[in-house]
Each structure stands twice: as C-alpha cells, then as structure tokens.
Structure 1
C-alpha cells in the first residue's frame, strides 16, 4: 500500500479470486501458501464502511471512499485498533491495477481535506455530506511470500458484506504485488487456480459488490475504455496496455453476463474480439507458439458466447422486426399465409417458443462456461504472458523500441488483408464478405488501439470510413445470420406446422440480404479512396 499526500498516482496491482465456501478450506491448506513464506501469517479483523453523497458523486466517478478499522488478532484486546481512510479509483492502465490513496485517521467520519491532492479533488460540491452506504466485516489471514525476487502479500478473506437488511458472503483470496516483477504475481495466481479450479477470477471490487447489494441493481454492462499512449511508449509497454484493456473489459462484464444480462454477454464477446484483434495486430512481433495458443482459446470462448448472442439477437431483434415488417406488407385483414410478401405476425409468433428454447440452451452453455475454470486460466495466462520481458520476439525488434516506430509494420498487413478480400467485391460470396467484415473489424480495432500515435485528423476520417463500410457489411451479416439461425431452428424444431413460418422468415431475410448487397459496391468504392493514416 502507498500513502499519498501529493499529486502522485500511487497504484496497487492486485489479483482477486472468489471462491465457493466449500473450496475456501482447500485453498487455505494449499502448500503453495507456505512456499516462500516470509514470517508467520497474521490474522486481522477488518470492518470497512463505504461512504458517498446522497447523489452518489463518488460512485458516478468510479471511485470508492472507505473507513476501515483494523485490529490484529493477537493484540485485539490490548492495543487500540488502527483506522485507515482509503480512496480507490478505476484502473491505472494495467490489467488489474487501480489507483489507491491511504491515510491514518482518528475521526469517525471521512476527512474530506485529505482528498485535496487526489482525483477526487473538486468532485464533491461545497458542503457535501457523506453517509455510510454499506460495510464489510472480514476475518483476514495475511501472508507475505517471496517468489522469484518479488514480494507478494496474500490475503485470505472470509466474511460478510452488509447493506441495510441485505447480506452476502465474502470468500476471497487477494494477491497484491509489493515489489518486484508482476510476472511472479501472475505465476502464483495461476498455480493457486490450478490447485483450486473452483476459484474464479474477478475484476469486481468489494465496493462494486456493495453498491449492487445496496441499490438492488443487477450488474451493469461496461464498454471498453479508450487507450492513449505517450509518443515514447515502448512496444512492450504498448502491447501490455492493449492486452490489459481487453482483459479489464472482459472481466468487468463477467458479473452482468453471469446474471444473464444480454448486453453483458455481448460486451464480453466484444472484449474477446478486441483481444483477438490485439494478438493479430502484434502478430508480426510475437512468439508464434504462445500467440496461437491464446488465439485458439479466445476463439473457442467467443464461439460459446457468440451462439448465445446470436439467439439473443434473433429473439429480441430479428423476430420482432420481421413480424412488424411482414405485417405492414400484408393486405389489410389478410390471414397469415406463405405467399411471398404476404405473411403477417401470426407465422412469426409461432417461432418464438422454439426460438426461446434454443436461446435458453445457449444461455445455459454460457453460464456453465463462465462458472468453469477456463476463463480464469485464460485471463491469468494472457496477462502473465504479456508481462514477460521477451513477449515481443519478432525479427528486428529491439528491447525498449518505441511502439511508434512499429506502427506501419503492425497495421499495413491488416490493411492488405482487407484490400485483398474486398477485391472484385461484386463477385464475392456471402462467406467471402463475412471474412471481409472480420478483417475490416480487426483493422479498425488496430487503428483504434494505436490512434494516439497517428495523425489525428486523417485517423478520424479513416475510422469514420471504416465504420461506414462496416455498417453496410453488418446489415448484410445480420440478414445472413437470420437466414442461418432460421435454418438451425428448422433442423431443431421437427414440427411440420412451423415450416410455413420458417419459410416466411427466411424469405424476409433473403430480401434484406439482397437489399444490403445493392449498396455494397458503392460503399466499398468510397472506402478504397480513403488514405490510410499509417
């Protein structure tokens, strides 16, 4: 922990695993906790109260302010408890790091004057009153481990989170890097997870869980954060930052996705696409064996989420839109029919029950995947690999080489793939155009990752053009996806009475696809005229 009374930006690099109650004892007994132990474990009782204004100024700014009373187990009755005021902010740019400021205090309420030289300065209105919102009560066992030249503080937390009459159990292990290389921290976390696979990695803080409990709101989906690089940033640091951004995005949406939130699943899928795009962007300078392994696992996870996302879109967007448009096309008072251009909502409504059944099955597959060990293993492995000193192993890459110098070598291969796949676009099959869309998305993500290192005006214009052609290809993909999903439903349904409805839906989707194809050559021509900013 770092005490701050200046404008410095102290951070903590912490990895947290959440455990089911039954697995907590297994982890406590792990021999890994004795390896490298620097002294005996310490026991503490921690009672932390989190504060905010009635208008939730700190919550809206992504900050948490707490007062924590800490008493050591052996000295609890003979020595006064220690009280610490802590301000935490969102990510510091690393995969799991956050800004953190701490001060010893003596009062029974937060001292707002201590926030003067922190990001919270000026955030609270004059005369603001803070009130307690929720609290945690934790029995903590703390160990300091010396591993590969690094010092790690490991804390085993068992306790409860309380917000009014609501309560939630806390069973967590937190590993914080005190000094040395972050690689040792990730290796420890990976080893513990391998021993206790039921442990699930989380990017959600106790404060975030407390707010969900206090407000009674489900977890909210989170979009990816923006990246901004200093011109002198090294290629290694740039790669770590891009990977860290993707992992933050992925894990931030895990609570919403596990709750079945449609947009949470979608954002996890977007995060996986961005991570895959990052690996493809840096592929010319990455060790190929490791990169291929992570790419394969990301692709597999993306397919599980993608299946659920496709059924979500089909049930919540495609069917209602098809029903509305087919109803408009039908003559007034006409009954449902399979005649082209005439079917109405009756046929489409028949598809909802079997479609929702397939959607539920896909959501169950997502829930099983997110509850399993693969996501945690992937996240720890990818973050740890990005921290390796030799992660960039391509020819001609020197240690500490500025990322700016590599930008053309990274982006030009992505652009060449796009241009090759878009050549003679009028003759391309639907499958070819789908591959063009994916290549274009990788190019757009790559430019967005490196945008701060490119000429601002040209880059803005280029990205706008990328989004325009991608939107056209997206309409085409939506129609093709509707056709494919309706055919899957045909195969799964096995009910003759649904065939007219499925035929009506497919006919509607085919017309949408053909309409999207008409404008594509002109959109492609406009994109080809754009001057790349790299």
Structure 2
C-alpha cells in the first residue's frame, strides 16, 4: 500500500553502547558481500503540534539535510516493523512543511498549527548487504545521534537501524539476531524523536487482556478505541484514493456507529448519541464514492455477460461515463469534508472516548459474561423481526425496502458479535459469519435496486439522445433475479438462538 508516491519502510531499531563493535554480518541468508561503508552527516528538524499529536500517533514529520534522500519526510505507522514514508524535495521554506505531506497527516493535525519541536544531528555509517548480483538486500545504519527539544537541552546516544531493501524478513531476523548476540538490545522507543520527547508524552492507553470476567464497559471501550484507530489509519489513504481505502474507512465508521448503538445501555448517551449522528454523516459522505464503485462494477459485469447482438448502441460507454463522473464528484466531496471543522470535531470526540463515556449505572461494571451476550442477542432478534416484516410485504418496492432493513440489522448483529469475539471466541465468530453471509446476500439485492435505478436513468438518457434504450431495459430485468434461494437458506440457519446468547 502506498499514498502519494510513498514507499513502505521495513526496519528494526536497536540500542547500542557507544563502544559497541558491529558484527561482521557473515553467514546471512542471501548475502554474498558487503559494500564499503559510507558515512553521512544528517541534520533534521521535526514538526508537530504543541501537544505532540503526530508523535502520539506514531507519526513523524521532518525536514532533513544530508544523505541521498534529503528533503521533507512524513512517516506513518502501518504494521509491525513497517511505516509508510512519503518524501518531498526540500524547497525554499525551512519552517512550512509541504501541503502534500500535511494533508496526509491532517487526521491528527486537524486545525492546529505545526511548529518545530526538536532537532537531531546524526553521524551515520551505512553498511549495505549485497547479494551475488550486487543488488542491495538491506542497509545497516550505525547512528551516533545528538538530539534535543528546541526549548531545552538534550542528549546523545547510539542506535543501529536495519532496513530491508531487496531482502526478506528472514534476512531481517538474521541480522537482528547477530546484533543481539553482539550486545545490542531492541530499541526502547519507536523513533529518535520519541526518545527526545518521551518525557513530554501523555500517558498512553495500555492494552489490557480482556476476558469474560472483565467489566463489560472495558470490553466496549476497547472495541471503540480499536475502531477509532482504524478509521484514522485509513484517512490518509482515503484522501489519495488508494484501492479499497474509502470502503475500509466507511466500514470503520459503520462499526463505530453500530457499537455505540449495541452498547447504548453501558454508555452515557449524552456523550455518545451526538457522536452517532456525526458518524452517520461521515458514513454518508464516504458512501457516495463507494456506491458508485460498486454499481459501476456490477453494471460492467452484467454487460460483459450479454451477447454482443443484445447490446444496442454505446451501452458500456454510457455506463462508464456516468459512473466515473459520479465517482469523481463523490471523491471531491470527500476531500472537502475531510478538511472541514465538522470532521475535525468528530475526531476530537473519538479521541475523548474513555471512561467518561460509560454510564454511571452499575451495568458497565458488571462482568462481560453477564451483560454482553444479552446485548448481542438483542441485535440478532432485530434481524428476525425485520425478516418477518419482509415476508409480509406486499409490493416489490416494499420488499426491497424491508430487505434493506434486514440487511442493516444483520450488519449490526455481525458487528456486535465481532466486537465480543476476543472474549467469547468461536461462538461469537460463528454468529458473525452467519450474519455476514446474510448481509452479503442482501447486499447484492440492495446493490441491485440501486443499479436498476441507474439503468432506468441511463435508459431515459439514451432515449433522449436518439439511441435505442432496449439494452438498458434488458439489463434492468436481468439484474432483478438473484439471491432468493440463498437468502431463504441462511434465514433458516439463523432461526435457532445459540446457547451462549441465552
């Protein structure tokens, strides 16, 4: 995954004594020789908000001179040992970071000002590990660092970084093992900047091991924090329209809103209900682009399945033009709203989801095993109730509307089961899988209803343009026939309530 031309940096850091001798890096998988060491002098100024919002989210923004990649660097967390690094040239300004980088970090910066917060001077010796063809597999950087906050004295230290270039994780493990045997230890901080400013960092939420005996409120808050982090993690990729990013961010938004509803008896609704409303707004903003993608893909698939003699006129071209225009317009709306004050205040509210969001009632303090199964069971009963109403619907339009309600209820039940899976294990996973199956079946039907409306509009446009609208009518009829048998089978499977929910 990349954003705005960035690349994924895979590295590990080690603390080392000033007199530590580097190992010779012999007998490493795939390594044939070492390149002659290269020494670099690096000077960097780091930027952040006054309350260190970037650093608190494991993100760094710096202006660095020296070395082959001097310039502005933004580093975003991605996975274990992995960060996304985005680079821009130095430019003329030394105090104003490039907009292309600040936009990618806007989810944390929001409407706060960026200030220089620390400076580092590094004497780096780079050792490149080469394969038999002379290609670089990894770089080992031996860094002697002097770092300080801009308003205080600092210190000096030594660390060793191992970054993969063309090698794999087996090599990363092997180099790390040699460094540890030689006397290095895994770094105690995630970055050089963290080492400099760690005394100014607010205490982090330390993850606790949850069980059925844990307070129900703790399980709820852990899930809400997890989904808040997921939403914010997808923000930079959504801004640059990376594949599937809009969908993933929208899912996180929906999971949060669903959890706030499922756990309502445990929460202070004066805090959480306004947040639910804002999450609904954000889901709507993200939904237009995602819906355009889904409908476009669905219609193109329908067109591809038809014999050429039944496609009269520029059918595919008209579909492509219309859906691409809708998608572009939706993305423009997303970019606008993701830099709005409304969005920033929503993010502030997510940051504030802590113990204060729990109700003062004792239910949140009771054991998870005594409270959460009943809340999940309630979401499952909503599915069955909605399905009964769908069966009694009379017109096709009523059926479509009510099946959409079944789908929404199934989605909430799925998310509810997934949110307690870490505590209740396989039974919760099984319920989530059943609800996901039902959701996907009904999702196809809902997508079909939206697709048929697009086809009706395109058929009308084709007629007004003097084209033959036959093919759009044909596609409209074909799209209606799908999913009924699978829907009935899944509904039959979910009739019996699982024992753990009783």
Q: TM-score, normalised to structure 1's length?
A: 0.58
Question: What is aligned with 1:357?
Answer: 325
* TM-aligned CA deviation for residue 407 of structure 1: 1.0
CA distance in 2, matches of 1:244, 1:125: 35
- Structure 1 gap segments, 5+ residues each: 6-11, 25-31, 34-40, 56-63, 86-108, 113-119, 131-136, 145-151, 154-175, 183-225, 335-341
Does the 8 Å contact 1:483/1:506 carry over to 2?
A: no
Q: Choose the corresponding residue for 2:56, options 14, 21, 24.
A: 14
Query: CA offsets per residue over residues 78-104 of structure 1, 9 Å max, x none?
Result: x9961254xxxxxxxxxxxxxxxxxxx
Query: CA offsets per residue over residues 406-438 of structure 1, 9 Å max, x none?
Result: 113321221221111011543341011011101
Q: Does 1:69 align with 2:138?
A: no
Q: Does 1:526 align with 2:493?
A: yes
* TM-aligned CA deviation for residue 506 of structure 1: 5.4
Number of residue equivalences: 373
* TM-aligned CA deviation for residue 533 of structure 1: 3.2
Does the 8 Å contact 1:249/1:271 carry over to 2?
A: yes
Does the 8 Å contact 1:287/1:393 carry over to 2?
A: yes
Query: CA offsets per residue over residues 136-180 of structure 1, 9 Å max, x none?
Result: x9999x999xxxxxxx82xxxxxxxxxxxxxxxxxxxxxx3059x
CA distance in 1, matches of 2:228, 2:141: 25
After superposition, the Cα gap between the structure-2 partners of 1:408 and 1:343, relative to the gap in structure 1 and judged at 3 Å, is same
- Structure 2 gap segments, 5+ residues each: 1-13, 17-53, 62-94, 103-111, 131-139, 164-168, 180-190, 394-398
Question: What is aligned with 1:177?
Answer: 202
After superposition, the Cα gap between the structure-2 partners of 1:236 and 1:529, relative to the gap in structure 1 and judged at 3 Å, is closer
* TM-aligned CA deviation for residue 527 of structure 1: 2.2
**Matched residue SS, 2:56:** strand
CA distance in 2, matches of 1:287, 1:50: 55
Q: Does 1:512 align with 2:479?
A: yes
After superposition, the Cα gap between the structure-2 partners of 1:227 and 1:422, relative to the gap in structure 1 and judged at 3 Å, is farther
Note the aligned Cα RMSD (angstroms). 4.7
Question: What is aligned with 1:45?
Answer: 119
After superposition, the Cα gap between the structure-2 partners of 1:288 and 1:356, relative to the gap in structure 1 and judged at 3 Å, is same
* TM-aligned CA deviation for residue 448 of structure 1: 0.8
Query: CA offsets per residue over residues 349-382 of structure 1, 9 Å max, x none?
Result: 2221232112211111111112333333212212
Query: CA offsets per residue over residues 2-40 of structure 1, 9 Å max, x none?
Result: x999xxxxxx9815798975999xxxxxxx99xxxxxxx
* TM-aligned CA deviation for residue 283 of structure 1: 1.0
Task: Spell out the pairing of 1:116-131 with structure 2 (5 A cutoff).
Answer: 124-125=173-174
Q: Does 1:447 align with 2:427?
A: no
Does the 8 Å contact 2:119/2:150 carry over to 1?
A: no
* TM-aligned CA deviation for residue 463 of structure 1: 2.9
Q: Choose the corresponding residue for 1:417, options 364, 382, 403.
A: 382
* TM-aligned CA deviation for residue 488 of structure 1: 5.8
* TM-aligned CA deviation for residue 305 of structure 1: 0.6
Task: Spell out the pairing of 1:419-434 with structure 2 (5 A cutoff).
Answer: 419-423=384-388, 425-428=390-393, 429-434=399-404
Task: Spell out the pairing of 1:255-404 with structure 2 (5 A cutoff).
Answer: 255-315=236-296, 317-327=297-307, 334=309, 342-343=310-311, 346-384=314-352, 386-387=353-354, 389-393=355-359, 395-397=361-363, 400-404=365-369
CA distance in 2, matches of 1:20, 1:375: 24
Q: Does 1:468 align with 2:437?
A: yes
Q: TM-score, normalised to structure 2's length?
A: 0.62
CA distance in 2, matches of 1:314, 1:235: 40
Q: Does 1:406 align with 2:371?
A: yes
Query: CA offsets per residue over residues 226-277 of structure 1, 9 Å max, x none?
Result: 9973333323322221111111211111121111224111111111111111
CA distance in 2, matches of 1:83, 1:227: 32
CA distance in 1, matches of 2:404, 2:389: 15
**Matched residue SS, 1:45:** strand
After superposition, the Cα gap between the structure-2 partners of 1:498 and 1:354, relative to the gap in structure 1 and judged at 3 Å, is farther
CA distance in 1, matches of 2:480, 2:96: 48
CA distance in 2, matches of 1:122, 1:353: 48
Does the 8 Å contact 2:294/2:447 carry over to 1?
A: no
After superposition, the Cα gap between the structure-2 partners of 1:20 and 1:482, relative to the gap in structure 1 and judged at 3 Å, is farther
CA distance in 2, matches of 1:51, 1:4: 16
CA distance in 2, matches of 1:304, 1:42: 34
Query: CA offsets per residue over residues 200-236 of structure 1, 9 Å max, x none?
Result: xxxxxxxxxxxxxxxxxxxxxxxxxx99733333233
Does the 8 Å contact 1:262/1:309 carry over to 2?
A: no
CA distance in 1, matches of 2:322, 2:373: 49
